[in-house]
Structure 1
Amino acid sequence: MEIFQIKGLSIRVHPTFLLVLLAYGILGLITQALLIFALVIGHELAHLLTAKAYGFKVVGLEIFPFGGAAYCDDLFEGRKIEESIMAVAGPLFNFLLLFAAQAIRWQGYWSGGSSEEFIRINFWLAAFNLLPLLPLDGGRIVRALFSDVFGFVRTTKVLARCGQAFGIILIILGLIFAGKGNSMEGIITLFLLAGFFLLSGNKEIASARITFLRQLTRKKEELLSKGFMKSKVLTAYTETPLIRIIEELTPDRYALIHLPGKEFQVERTLTETEVVEGMMRHGIHYPVGKL
């Protein structure tokens, strides 16, 4: 849900974040809720400034319950260095605030419950976001590091499904804690986070397909501008469905697909462009050998 725009920058708040604020307000924790909101905004600004430092044009921010995401016109997903550093910038911001607050406490300038709460929230924002699950920052780091090996779409699917599985675990924990009479604050937070992971998993997978198509366009532009590009070779049986090959494609290498014959000698070689165009025409389950 878009809340407002600042100089063309779209600011969106995920519905689960609004539910967290509402729940905390009902429980009389509005000060804590506003502190979380402010720290999450700072967390996202760290992502934004890092993206701008790389020269990416940031078009929007989306705020999640305990983190968020920056969206760019330029393509950074799947790039090892750029996406990793952009992702780690948010948790690093919270760790820096944590250490700064702790240093002030040691000097005796800040004490009491407010300082402890500030440190606690920053710690959990940083630690939680480093979990290797999408759409968290940790998941984006893992995707950046491994999409070149396992393929961008496949890596995104695995990390998003793991995030959804984690959401189910949170639901189970919430039910267990509710049965034991634990605090409503923790129980509500678990359920809201579970909903966030379950809903965002499908969104991540859907956006991965769009990003993948953008990556193809970028690779064509890079090939035309440089005149060369790193490549990778895949070997597939003629009966292999196109989707299996698509999931193996990576952001930074152009793929050539060898089709061996009966004697396992290469009879044909297809480019990834031919495979993608074949998928568009015939569907994801079409055998590659029929192209």
Structure 2
Amino acid sequence: MQLFKISGVSVRIHPTFLVVLVLYGVLGLLAQALLIFALVVGHELAHLLVAKAYGFKVEGLELFPFGGAAYCDGLFEGRKVEESLMALAGPAFNLVLLFGAQALRWNGLWWGELSEEFIRYNLWLAAFNLIPVLPLDGGRVIRALFVESFGYVRTTKFLAEAGRWLGVSFALYGIVLGVQGKFSEGPLSLLILGGFFWFAGSKEISSAHITFLRQLTRKKEELLKKGLMRSHWLTVQKDTPLVRIVEEFTPDRYAMVNLSNEKAGMEKILTETDIVEGMLREGIHYPVGKL
């Protein structure tokens, strides 16, 4: 459901967020839910401002409970500098608000329960989003830093799977707390977080290959446009399946593949384009030696 537009960016709210607002309202916590909602919007807009600064065309923003997802006409995922700075912009926004509010409290300009909750929620959002799993900002920073070593798809799947199991842990802990005592804000938040992690992590895993193929297409276009690009070498055996090679490709380097023979000598060289086109034509398990 679309809420509004900011500088041409469509801001939408996922139906699960409406469910959260209703549940918190039933528990008498609607004011706290609305405050978190406002802080999440600001957190996500900080990501979008950095994206715009890098020249990415931001198309929309979708808000989930305690998080969100940005949609850009351009691929920043896996780019070391761009994705890291975009990811860190959200927690930085919350930390700026936190220290600003604390400065007002120290100078006696703001006091009371609202100021305490404002500081607590900003600290929670900043620290929580730096947990190194996907879909959180900390996971995006880790992906950007390690994608060159382990490949985009493998890194994304590992971090997203870690995020899903973290969600399972949150949900189980919430159930235990709910069974032991009163069903209140704490257990409810843990259950919602568990569902959010599982849903968002599954989405990251399912879209990893699609996003990566888009990256490869853009990379070829960028190479043809600029006339040059940094490259890296991979040495493989003839029976290596094409999908295994593709998973080693990175978003910001063009791969050259050295096909070795039985004596570990170089038999022929294939380009990244040769590998991708062969995989699309012959299938993901086709051995590279038959290309």
Q: Per the shorter chain, which TM-score range? A: over 0.9
Distance 2:152 2:3 in 1: 31
**RMSD, aligned CA:** 1.6
Moved more, 114-123 or 271-280: 271-280
| Partner amino acid, structure 2, of 1:55 | G
Write the deviation string for residues 82-111 of structure 1: whole angstroms up to 9, x where unpaired: 111111111111111011111111111211
Write the deviation string for residues 61-100 of structure 1: whole angstroms up to 9, x where unpaired: 1212222232211221111111111111111111110111
Kept after mapping to 2: 8 A contact 1:16/1:193: no
Cα distance, 1:6 vs structure 2: 4.9
Which 5+ residue runs of structure 1 have no aligned equivalent? none
Kept after mapping to 2: 8 A contact 1:75/1:215: yes
Q: For residue 83 of structure 2, what is the aligned residue in structure 1? A: 83
Distance 1:49 1:239 in 2: 46
Cα distance, 1:290 vs structure 2: 2.1
Moved more, 80-89 or 208-217: 208-217
The 5-angstrom pairing of residues 92-107 of structure 1 reads 92-107=92-107
Q: For residue 147 of structure 1, what is the aligned residue in structure 2? A: 147
The 5-angstrom pairing of residues 175-214 of structure 1 reads 175-181=175-181, 183-214=183-214
Distance 1:3 1:118 in 2: 24
Moved more, 38-47 or 48-57: 48-57
Describe the SS at the equivalent of 2:279. helix
Cα distance, 1:210 vs structure 2: 2.3
Are 2:264 and 1:255 aligned?
no
Q: For residue 278 of structure 2, what is the aligned residue in structure 1? A: 278
Moved more, 123-132 or 214-223: 214-223
Distance 2:218 2:287 in 1: 26
Are 2:118 and 1:118 aligned?
yes
Distance 1:264 1:149 in 2: 23
Are 2:38 and 1:33 aligned?
no
Kept after mapping to 2: 8 A contact 1:20/1:189: no
Distance 2:288 2:234 in 1: 12
Cα distance, 1:190 vs structure 2: 0.9
Kept after mapping to 2: 8 A contact 1:134/1:163: yes
Write the deviation string for residues 157-195 of structure 1: whole angstroms up to 9, x where unpaired: 111111111111112211221232155211111111111
Are 2:127 and 1:161 aligned?
no
Kept after mapping to 2: 8 A contact 1:62/1:68: yes
Moved more, 221-230 or 120-129: 221-230
Describe the SS at the equivalent of 1:78. coil
Kept after mapping to 2: 8 A contact 1:16/1:192: no
Which 5+ residue runs of structure 2 have no aligned equivalent? none
| Partner amino acid, structure 1, of 2:114 | S
Distance 1:5 1:109 in 2: 33
Write the deviation string for residues 31-87 of structure 1: whole angstroms up to 9, x where unpaired: 001101111111111111111122221101121222223221122111111111111
Describe the SS at the equivalent of 2:109. coil
TM-score by length of 1: 0.94
Moved more, 69-78 or 99-108: 69-78
How many residue pairs are counted as aligned between the two chains? 291
TM-score by length of 2: 0.94
Q: For residue 234 of structure 2, what is the aligned residue in structure 1? A: 234
Kept after mapping to 2: 8 A contact 1:16/1:195: no
Kept after mapping to 2: 8 A contact 1:259/1:266: yes
Distance 1:86 1:118 in 2: 23
Describe the SS at the equivalent of 1:252. coil
Write the deviation string for residues 115-145 of structure 1: whole angstroms up to 9, x where unpaired: 1111111111111111111111111111111
Distance 2:188 2:253 in 1: 45
